[in-house]
Amino acid sequence: MGSVYEYDTTAGNNTQTGGGVSVAEGVNAALVNNAQRDVMADTAKWRDVIGGAKTAGGSANAITLSTGLSVPSYADGQMFSFVAAGDNTGATTLNIDTIGAKAVRKNGDVALEGGEIVTGGHYIVQYDASANSAAGAFLLVNPLSAGLSSANTFTKTQTWTKGADVASATSLTLGDGNYFDITGTTTVATIATKGVGTVVKLHFDGILTLTNSADLVLPGGADITTAAGDEAEFIEYATGDWRCTDYQRASGLPLAAIDEDDMSSDSETKVPTQQSVKAYVDTEVASITFDWTYETPQATTSGTEFDFTGLTGASEIEMVLEGVSLSGTDLILIQLGDAGGIETTGYVGAGGVMVSTTTFAAIESTSGFVIRVAVAGEAANALVRISAYDSTGVDWATSHGGRATTNAMISGGGTKTLSAPLTQVRLTRSGSNTFDAGQVSLRWR
C-alpha cells in the first residue's frame, strides 16, 4: 500500500500508511504516532492534488502531472486538479505520475479542440474508464467555452460585462468587459488589442473624431465625428486591427447616405440628401413651362394660309379664330408640321355644324383638322385645342368648339401622328378660296 489512492474503504483492509508505516492489529505502540503523522502527510498531499496547488508540466497538448503520491494506476472516479502551464491548441492528453498518457475529453466525451485550457487556468479532471470508446480518459470538468467550434443555442440571457469608463486617447486602451463609456474629446486612431475575435460596444459621452485607417476600419472608409449618445460595435479581426460592424447615432439619422444628385439610377441603395432633392426638383421645375407663349395674331382678311412656327417643345396649343371666313365654299383646315415641313396627309377627324335644332352636318378630311360653317361666306368664331398625347411630341389630338355667324354651333376633333416632333401649325383651306375676314391668334406651352 503505497499512497492514499491505495487506501481501502473497508477499515480492516488497511494495514499500512502510504509511507509504509504498519497499522496492523497488535502493532507496536511506538508506531502509532508515526502512522498518524504519515496519514496526515498523505492527506495534505491529496489536498494539494485535488485543490489545484499543483502546476502541470509537459507541453500544451501533452500535459504531465506529478502528484507526490505515487498513484499506482488509474481508477474510475479519481479526481485531479492542476494549474495549466500552456494553452492547448487541439486534442490533449494527461499523464499522471508517469502511469501513461490518457486523452482529456470534455462533457459529452468529446475530444478537445483547442482553447479549452489556457495558461494559469485552474482545471479539474475526473478519470472515467468507459470514456473515449472504453480506452479510458480524463473528463475535463471545467473547460473554457472559448474552445467550442460548433454552433451553440443560448436558452438564457447572455450578459456582457460593462467595464470602467475609458478616457478617449489616440490609442484607446479598454479594460475588462465588453461595454464601455468613452469620455473626453480626444481623437481616437487605434484601439489596443484585447484578443482576436473580441467584440466590444462603445458608448460615446461627447464629441470626438474616430479616424479611419487599416487599424480602425470605419463604415464607408471615412472618419466619424461622434455625438453624445452615439454607440458603435467593433470586432478585433487581427491583432490590434478593429472593424466597426455597426454604428448608431443617438439622433436616429443614418451615419452616411450614398448621395446621388440626379437620381438617375433608380437604385435601392442610393439615397439623395435633402440638398440633392432640392437641386433636382429646382432643375426639373425650371424645365417645365407653366406660362403661355403668345404668338403675334395674324389678320385673315386676305391670303391662303397662315403659319405659326418656332413651336419646338410645345405640348399644348390653343388657336382662336375670330370672324374668320373664306371667299367660297372651301373647308377651313388646320395642319401640323415638324422640321420637315407641314404635313398634308394622315389626319383622322371630322368637323360639323348644327344647321337646325335636329340636324348636325359633319364632314371628314385626311388633309387637316376640319372647321365647318353652315354656308359659304359665314365666319367662324372658335377655340381650337391641340394637345400632345405622348412625351415625344409626335402624337397629337385636337378638339374645337364655337359658332358661325348664323348662330349655328360648330365642333369637331381628330388625331395626327407626325414624322418628328411638332414645330409649326398652319391655318389654311381645303381648296383654292382665299380668306377674306377675321383674325387668327395662337398661344402655346
Contacts of 171 (CB under 8 A, 6+ apart): 189, 190, 191, 192
**Same-domain pairing of 336 and 399:** yes
CA distance 60 to 239: 22
**The pTM is what?**
0.41
222 and 334 inside one domain: no
Q: What pLDDT, on a 0 to 100 scale, did the predictor assign at position 375?
A: 74
Residue 145 has pLDDT above 80, yes or no: no
Under 8 Å between Cβ of 418 and 338: yes
Q: What is the pLDDT of residues 407-443, one digit of tens each?
A: 789 999 999 999 999 999 999 999 999 999 999 999 9
- State whether 311 and 377 are in the same domain: yes
* pLDDT tens profile 46-83: 777 887 778 999 999 999 999 988 888 999 999 999 99
392-396 own/partner pairs: CB under 8 Å, 24+ apart: 392/421, 393/313, 393/314, 393/315, 393/418, 393/421, 393/422, 394/418, 394/419, 394/420, 394/421, 394/422, 396/336, 396/422
Same domain, 346 and 300: yes
Residue 373 identity (one-letter amino acid): V
Using 50, 70 and 90 to split pLDDT, how confident is the model at 261? low
CA distance 389 to 77: 93
pLDDT at 147 over 50: no
Same structural domain for residues 392 and 414?
yes
What integer is the mean pLDDT of 13-24?
80
How many domains does one find in the chain?
Answer: 5
Residues 68 and 47 in one domain: no
Question: What CATH number has the domain bearing residue 192?
Answer: 2.60.120
Q: Which residues contact 301 (CB under 8 A, 6 or more apart)?
A: 435, 436, 437, 438
Q: How confident is the model at residue 232 (pLDDT cuts 50, 70, 90)?
A: very high
Lowest mean pLDDT among 4-8, 119-123, 178-182, 295-299: 4-8
Residues 216, 264, single domain; the answer is no
Sorted by sequence, the CB contacts under 8 Å of residue 160 that are 6+ apart come out as 177, 178, 179, 201
For residue 18, CA distances in Å to 28, 151, 342 come to 18, 48, 125
Do the beta carbons of residue 371 and residue 330 sit within 8 Å? no
Whether residue 405 sits in one domain with residue 303: yes
Domain encompassing residue 205: 166-248
Mean pLDDT across the stretch 307-330? 96
How many DSSP H helices and E strands does the chain contain? 3, 32
